Structure 1
Amino acid sequence: MRDETVSAAQQAELQGGVSVRDKTGPVGLREATATEAADDSGSGPEAGTEAGPEATSVNGAPPRPLPWEELVKTALLGTDRRTAPVAAGAEGNAPGALLAAAAVRTVRYRAGLRPAAPAGAPLSAARPDERPPLPRAARNRLAQLLAVRTAGGTDRRGAAPDLTELLPQWLATALRQGFAAPHDLLPALLDAARARTDLRPAALAFAGPRALWLARLNPAWRFALRGVPGGAAGAPAPEDAEGVARLWEEGLFAERVALLGTLRERDPARARELLATTWRTERAEDRLLFLDSLRAGLGEADEPFLDEALADRSRNVRSTAAELLSALPGSALAARMAERAASCVSLALTGEPRITVEAPHECDAGMERDGVTAKPPANRGERSWWFGQLVEAAPLATWPGRLGGRTPEEVVALPVDEGWQSELHGAWCRAAVRQRDAAWSRALLGSPGSPVADGPGAVSLAERAQLLGALPEGERAAWVAGFIAAHGLSDSFQLLATCTAPWAGPLGAAVVDALTTARRAGGYPWSYSGIMGLAERCLDPAEAPRLDTLTQPDPPVADPPANSTTAYWTDAFARLTGTLRLREAMHAELTRPPA
């Protein structure tokens, strides 16, 4: 073999670790293997050194080590251009000797690897979980739910319950009961949390300290260490002032966000002071996310820091700071916005009481500094855009005094001149949501029986859903029940999503009645698939008996219509009742017996 370089086939054989095809080559495989077995200095193709028949010995000295990289370089360049780091043998066949040496190393690698380093110290034990173990029935139920998730879920087209959607409720109930997770199910539970981010808070709280111990050993579960005090390797507990300062200065961005969020929940002032130490040196996108963390525990003490952020060089940071300040009715920014908004809205001096609007004619530097965005979106007028931002940021307490001492209901009921009602009421809706004002939210929602798109203030279902969030839970459920009784379920999905589960009392009864009416009216069941799925997760299991009659198929008819939906409705109600009873059984399994 006298070629300049190793052939392509030989290169593939060398790079892929293919052994010599014939033991009668320049370096016989049998002899070479025996010699290699006698030498235990290497561990395979990736080993750094090798000593064997391909190594050379000078004056009886130990064989010269041959790095694997040297063999690869020589093969790629060719034995005529680069001296082979192996003996060519009696026939002077350097390419064959090179391949044989590579084959010997590959065989040795495939035969088994030697430990690269001595065994490390034994792992420390996980912190014990003092919570009581799950009852056997509940443990078996959890195994079933996790197995269904691994298998890819259930078929939503049949009458069987969708088990994949029951895991969040199971975890929430187990946490309320204070049980510990079974050790043998922790890997499956961590895999489920990895696949579904909405499961992570409850799954990790239920999994307990052993989950963090496992997460340090498996990179796939590293997400479990984020945001947990002391969870990530080297992450300090909030009480460790020195460790907190070090992590804030040296940590990765995700670690710093998690640290700031943890501190904000426990000590808002300390979190804000920590952020202030590096605020001026942070990137704009990082400042924006850090600033957003101040929403938790927002209070008057945050005003000086937020007021300073109003002068930030980033427009997004300025807007976020202005939004947070406007949520503090006593802030200086809120007072400035109230003065600007009040100059735009007044009562008419003649005729019937009504509201007149004079929108701003320009967006000056002061308005921009206070978070007003000067350039409107497409298809939006400048003046109405500026006006809406001013009213949205003004404290709602501004308007009763400005509009004749009227209550929020009376203010909202006033007519508005020149087509400004939608803009004014929409801004009040956003202000009520931002300021969490129940009185104004109640006034803007109006009666649940009013037309869907013609309430006193809310002009869309999305705005109504946001306003409902400011009401107490009981009042919210009662309002949605009234809406369903008046309008049915077609427009109620967003509103129902704001209600706390389980839907009991008037709300549960309204949902069941509306579903019954929809079936009897011959509606298409797939049009209600979202509502049905929500009902499976949120409807009170006590409503199951009222649905039993709906799971029975209608009496057969001689000539059924081609588009009959009876079978679909029957399956849908069978799945709903089956899920409700399964949820009831799950709760019973997790109910701790009295001591």
Structure 2
Amino acid sequence: MTSTSTVQAGHAWEELVTTALLGTDRRTPPVSASGREAPVALLDAAAVETVRRRAGLRPVRAAAGPQPAAPDGRPPLPPAAARRLATLLTDRPGTGGGRRGTAPDLMELLPQWLALANRHGYAAPPETLPALLDAARGRTDLRTAALTFAGTRALWLARLNTDWRFALRAAPGGGSALPGPDEPERVRRLWQEGLFAERVALLTALRAQDAPAARELLASTWSTERAEDRLMFLDSLRTGLEAADEPFLEGALSDRSRNVRSTAAELLSALPTSALAGRMARRATACVAVDRTGDTPTIVVEAPHECDPGMERDGVQPKAPAGRGERSWWLGQLVEAAPLDAWSARLGGRSPEEVVALPVADDWQAELHGAWCRAAVRQRDPSWSRALLGAPVTPEAGGPGAVSLAERAKLLATLDADERAEWVAGFIGTHGLSEAFQLLGVCDVPWAPPLGRAVVDALDIARDAGSYPWSFSGVMGLAERCLDPDEAARLEPLTAATEEPEDAAPGAGGYWAEAFQRLATTLRLRATMRAELAPPGGVGAS
């Protein structure tokens, strides 16, 4: 030490720190030196105090180290795929605006890469787990696939790092193995003593394996559960909903909670043979009839004049939202909860297409068709969905009942994958891409060839129109992720800059060429990823 003065032994460490922060010219240091010597003396005193404090520590018994993580028995990634994963995880897309260039957005390919890896049943390389968990922490859309791929080692790490605790919350039972139907005592104990999240996870897992056992478990404590918990538990019955659930759900119609009653009624209405569905059918069909007195048969509607206690018990909300008439509000709820099969008998044996084609008197068409749309989605009825969607080439492009893109997308989701793709391809071929984004979102990936061709053709037409590609950036991004990689070769003619029309936006041709180059590059990269993940001797799938 070179100090010319010393601090009194045992002087408060906090006082030394405070003086150093404020400065010796603003606070008198706890040392005998002053003037220019004070700062040096203060630092020397702090050094001495540091040594004294450390020397005074008593050694403690070393804490036990964590138990090793359980081994992952899944096959390891092929080396090329492991290198690709490291590249995907280290990519950081730019935060600024401007042109994207021709380079693929690697982070947007990570979800697809994870889905492929999980499909093949690979184990995550241990060295990639921290970066994988960091990526999943920042993007909730990655979590399910990332945690599946990471396996039990991710849960082991999550217990050691609070930044990754989301993995424990996302895993059933907080990462602990949940008991199955063959362990009734463990099931009973966890159900009675577990945390709420553990109980939800247990009920959900048990419902997927043994629906009657899950229903009996829920019934055993139903009357003692809190209303908000009953609502969450009741929602688990959507999985594997069956006719045997009806007695329990019928009892829930008398629950103290309005939300529980409403959910129970919704579930019962999805069972076309339930007693509630029958009651709703009688109420709804009493409001609708065919008038044959004119030149053209016409549907006439007489909406309910009151919402009686029976209707309320069956889930009809008596108070209409702002801007809605009470009678139309009640009618819509009755129709959407009634089995769709009841309408053919009520309306002269007509098919769904024939029913939807009938004119509706007194401006009731939007309300009636909208309720049929909701019923078709709830009951997963493809024949009614087709009728309400109509042909994609019609001027309204959504059918008489689909009054919004969101409703069209929901109706499309009830059709099989090929039919969905064909309908959306027809829509795009007639109406272009301006309203197609939501509809494309319900189509299976990779897009079927007719749909992929329709999208590419529509993008080419948009380029010829002379606009900038940024107006179609959402669809272009979907195409990068959803087009079949085998379509890359078909895009090559579009990657060259073309002569711009006189009325085109300045530089639009070059921007479009760049966008198509990025699309083709991304598709080739996806094809490479698919090949890298394919097991030896196997064939990968997009």
Same fold (TM over 0.5): yes
Alignment of 1:74-85 (within 5 A): none
Distance 1:459 1:221 in 2: 43
Return the offset for 1:542: 1.6
Return the offset for 1:316: 1.4
Q: Is the 8 A contact 1:17 1:102 kept in 2?
A: no
Runs of 4 or more above 4 Å deviation: 9-12, 14-25, 101-115, 149-156, 233-239, 559-562
**Of the two, which has the highest radius of gyration?**
1
**RMSD between aligned residues:** 3.0
> Given the alignment of the two structures, is residue 296 of structure 1 paired with residue 212 of structure 2, yes or no?
no
Unaligned 5+ segments in structure 1 are: 1-8, 26-100
> Given the alignment of the two structures, is residue 337 of structure 1 paired with residue 280 of structure 2, yes or no?
yes
Moved more, 466-475 or 258-267: 258-267
Return the offset for 1:15: 8.6
Which one of 387, 390, 393 corresponds to residue 446 of structure 1? 390
Unaligned 5+ segments in structure 2 are: 1-10, 22-27, 34-44
The percentage of counterpart residues that share the same residue type is 67
Alignment of 1:80-479 (within 5 A): 107-109=51-53, 115-120=59-64, 122-149=65-92, 157-226=100-169, 228=171, 232=175, 236=179, 239-351=182-294, 352-452=296-396, 455-479=399-423
> Given the alignment of the two structures, is residue 573 of structure 1 paired with residue 507 of structure 2, yes or no?
no
Counterpart of 2:342, as a letter, is: T
Q: Is the 8 A contact 1:326 1:395 kept in 2?
A: yes
Q: Is the 8 A contact 1:156 1:162 kept in 2?
A: no
Which one of 431, 436, 447 corresponds to residue 487 of structure 1? 431
Counterpart of 1:124, as a letter, is: Q
Corresponding residue SS for 2:300: strand
Q: Is the 8 A contact 1:263 1:270 kept in 2?
A: yes
Return the offset for 1:140: 0.6
Return the offset for 1:427: 0.4
Which residue is 1:69 aligned to? none
Q: Is the 8 A contact 1:376 1:382 kept in 2?
A: yes
Q: Is the 8 A contact 2:385 2:412 kept in 1?
A: yes
Return the offset for 1:115: 4.8
Q: Is the 8 A contact 2:452 2:483 kept in 1?
A: yes
Counterpart of 1:302, as a letter, is: D
| Number of equivalent positions | 510
Return the offset for 1:10: 7.5
Which residue is 2:527 aligned to? 584
Return the offset for 1:319: 1.0
Distance 2:438 2:353 in 1: 24
Counterpart of 2:448, as a letter, is: A
Distance 2:247 2:281 in 1: 19
Which residue is 2:496 aligned to? 552
Distance 1:326 1:575 in 2: 48
Corresponding residue SS for 2:75: coil
Distance 2:100 2:464 in 1: 21
Taking structure 2 as the reference length, what is the TM-score of the superposition?
Answer: 0.87
Q: Is the 8 A contact 1:146 1:188 kept in 2?
A: yes
Which residue is 1:536 aligned to? 480
Return the offset for 1:127: 2.6
Return the offset for 1:327: 0.5
Distance 1:152 1:131 in 2: 37
Distance 2:18 2:200 in 1: 45
Distance 1:112 1:151 in 2: 51
Counterpart of 1:537, as a letter, is: R
Return the offset for 1:345: 0.6
Please give the per-residue CA displacement for 1:421-475, whole angstroms capped at 9, x wherever unaligned.
1111110000000000011111111111012366232222211110011101111
Please give the per-residue CA displacement for 1:229-254, whole angstroms capped at 9, x wherever unaligned.
56535865664433332332233222
Which residue is 1:501 aligned to? 445
Corresponding residue SS for 1:553: coil
Which residue is 1:13 aligned to? 15
Counterpart of 2:439, as a letter, is: L
Please give the per-residue CA displacement for 1:474-510, whole angstroms capped at 9, x wherever unaligned.
1111111111111111111111111001013211111
> Given the alignment of the two structures, is residue 521 of structure 1 paired with residue 465 of structure 2, yes or no?
yes
Counterpart of 1:245, as a letter, is: R
Which residue is 1:510 aligned to? 454
Distance 1:102 1:314 in 2: 65
Distance 2:192 2:428 in 1: 53
Return the offset for 1:181: 1.0
Corresponding residue SS for 1:166: helix
Corresponding residue SS for 1:347: strand
Corresponding residue SS for 1:405: coil
Please give the per-residue CA displacement for 1:380-413, whole angstroms capped at 9, x wherever unaligned.
1110000000000000010001110111111111
Corresponding residue SS for 2:245: helix
Distance 1:541 1:156 in 2: 24
Return the offset for 1:195: 1.6
Distance 2:216 2:53 in 1: 57
Taking structure 1 as the reference length, what is the TM-score of the superposition?
Answer: 0.79
Moved more, 307-316 or 402-411: 307-316
Distance 1:265 1:16 in 2: 62
Return the offset for 1:574: 1.7
